[in-house]
Amino acid sequence: MKPVRLAVSLCLAVAAVACGDASSDSAAGAGNASAPAASPGAVSTSASRVVPHEKLVELLPNIPGFKRESDVQATTDTSENVSRVQLDYIEESGTAGLSVELMDVAGNAVMLEPIKALLKLQGTRQSAGGTEEKVTVVGGYPAVQEWTAEANNGSMSVLLAGRFLVKVTGSSVAGVGVIAKALEAIDLKKIEALK
């Protein structure tokens, strides 16, 4: 049985706005995909070249207790300076699920602002629906944590080198610690060093 997926995903929502209808390609033999014309206000603010999604695919982790559930979804959009990979995992002995998303936004202000704003959060904030938001530290990096205890759903996101977004989303997991351990399974230092 597949776990219930979180309805809202910060990176996915922002990617949908900034990248329009860019098609996803399987990492196994997929080339770069380009989105249609940029949406208003989504112009890249940096001349930095985006890291191709193939480099990000190599950094998707193996997560103890979970198996890869699907093919890797991967895109590179050089017009928007965004590359993205996403992979779902399912718990080996249950119905809990994890989703790992790695993105290079290469200075795209539209995509950077939401995570930068959340990283400035002081203390703990309660949102509608019982979601608790706060900034914590995972693997030595500041991370935005969102957790809804009633549903056992949540996410943790980090921003590396001012351009790489790493997000782990958990659905029906035993606790927020499961999400933190999955985030720690990702080689954040390698992602931070990509050029």
Residue 127's pLDDT band (cuts 50, 70, 90): confident
* Whole-number pLDDT of residue 47: 54
Q: What is the mean pLDDT of the chain?
A: 81
Count of beta carbons in the 10 Å neighbourhood of residue 112: 19
Residue 78's pLDDT band (cuts 50, 70, 90): confident
Phi-psi region of 55 (alpha: psi -120 to 50; beta: other; left: phi over 0): alpha
DSSP-assigned letters across all residues of 9-76: -HHHHHHHHHHTTPPPEETTT------SSPPTT------PPPPPHHHHHTTPPP-TTEEE-SPPEEEE
Residues, the chain: 195
Reported pTM = 0.77
For residues 186, 88, 135 and 81, what is the CA-based torsion angle, rounded to 10 degrees?
80
Buried b vs exposed e over 93-108: b needs ≥16 C-beta within 10 Å? eeebbbbbbbbbbbbb
pLDDT tens digits, one per residue of 50-65: 999 999 999 999 999 9
Angle at 14 between CA 48 and CA 65, to 5 degrees: 95
